[in-house]
């Protein structure tokens, strides 16, 4: 009986191992609703910026672009969820959708700028963003444009590293999930 249980466990483990390591990761088309932007109860009508606007921030010789894809609110006020753009690429990450799965979720990394720190910017464009295609993968609060610039530079450095496939090294804290996604991936069709 012990041998039978051991054999079944060994066969199951081998199948799971083969299933996880030999497949090319696929991407979910739909982002789970829990990871999508949700600003119900937040009055954004009086804000100087709108969902889908691309903002350009300037500080000294540094210039960064970011698109507004979320809003949040707490005791310190309203926060604007910004996803940095490097040329035409959004800052994002791929994460596994489950422990035993070969599918990945494409999520965006956001810096949340408090409205009190919304300075030194201009609206350079606006795109129609499909909220259902926006998944929030990382959240970093920033209070001002200086902190925003630091987060942008840190994001660039992280994305220069070799990305770990999303279905590998699931528990390794040194794995690199950060990557880029084309802006087109979040546009309305």
Q: Among 58, 63, 39, which residue's Cα sits nearest to residue 50?
A: 39
pTM of this prediction?
0.80
* Local structure of residue 130 (DSSP, 8 states): -
Tens digit of pLDDT for each residue in 70-116? Answer: 999 999 999 999 999 999 999 998 877 765 555 788 899 999 999 99
End-to-end Cα spacing for the chain: 58
- Asked if the model's pLDDT at residue 18 lies above 90, the reply is no
Domain spans of the chain, in order of start: 25-186
Tens digit of pLDDT for each residue in 106-137? Answer: 899 999 999 999 999 999 999 999 999 999 99
Q: Report the alpha-carbon angle 163-167-170, nearest 5.
A: 85
Q: Which residues pair with 26 in a beta bridge?
A: 103
| Tokens found for residue 189 | 């069709």
- Integer-rounded Cα Rg, in Å, for the chain is 20
| Tokens found for residue 99 | 């422990």
Q: Among 34, 33, 110, 46, which residue's Cα sits nearest to residue 77?
A: 46
- Answer whether 84's CB lies under 8 Å from 155's CB: yes
Instruction: Give the 3-state secondary structure of residue 186.
Output: helix
38 backbone φψ class: left, alpha, beta (φ>0; ψ -120 to 50): beta
Tens digit of pLDDT for each residue in 145-185? Answer: 999 999 999 999 999 988 777 766 666 677 767 889 999 99
Question: How far is 16 from 157, CA to CA, in rounded Å?
Answer: 34
């Amino acid at each position: 009986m012990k041998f039978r249980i051991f054999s079944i466990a060994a066969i199951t483990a081998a199948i799971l191992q083969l299933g996880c390591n030999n497949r090319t990761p696929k991407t979910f088309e739909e982002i789970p609703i829990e990871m999508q932007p949700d600003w119900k109860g937040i009055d954004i009508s009086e804000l100087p910026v709108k969902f889908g606007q691309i903002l350009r921030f300037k500080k000294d010789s540094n210039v960064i672009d970011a698109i507004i894809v979320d809003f949040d609110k707490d005791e310190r006020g309203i926060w604007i969820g910004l996803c940095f753009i490097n040329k035409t690429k959004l800052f994002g990450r791929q994460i596994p959708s489950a422990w035993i799965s070969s599918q990945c979720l494409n999520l965006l990394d956001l810096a949340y700028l408090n409205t009190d720190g919304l300075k030194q910017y201009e609206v350079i464009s606006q795109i129609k963003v499909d909220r259902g295609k926006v998944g929030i993968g990382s959240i970093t609060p920033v209070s001002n444009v200086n902190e925003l610039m630091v987060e942008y530079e840190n994001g660039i450095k992280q994305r220069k590293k070799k990305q770990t496939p999303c279905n590998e090294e699931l528990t390794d804290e040194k794995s690199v999930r950060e990557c880029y996604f084309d802006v087109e991936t979040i546009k309305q069709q």
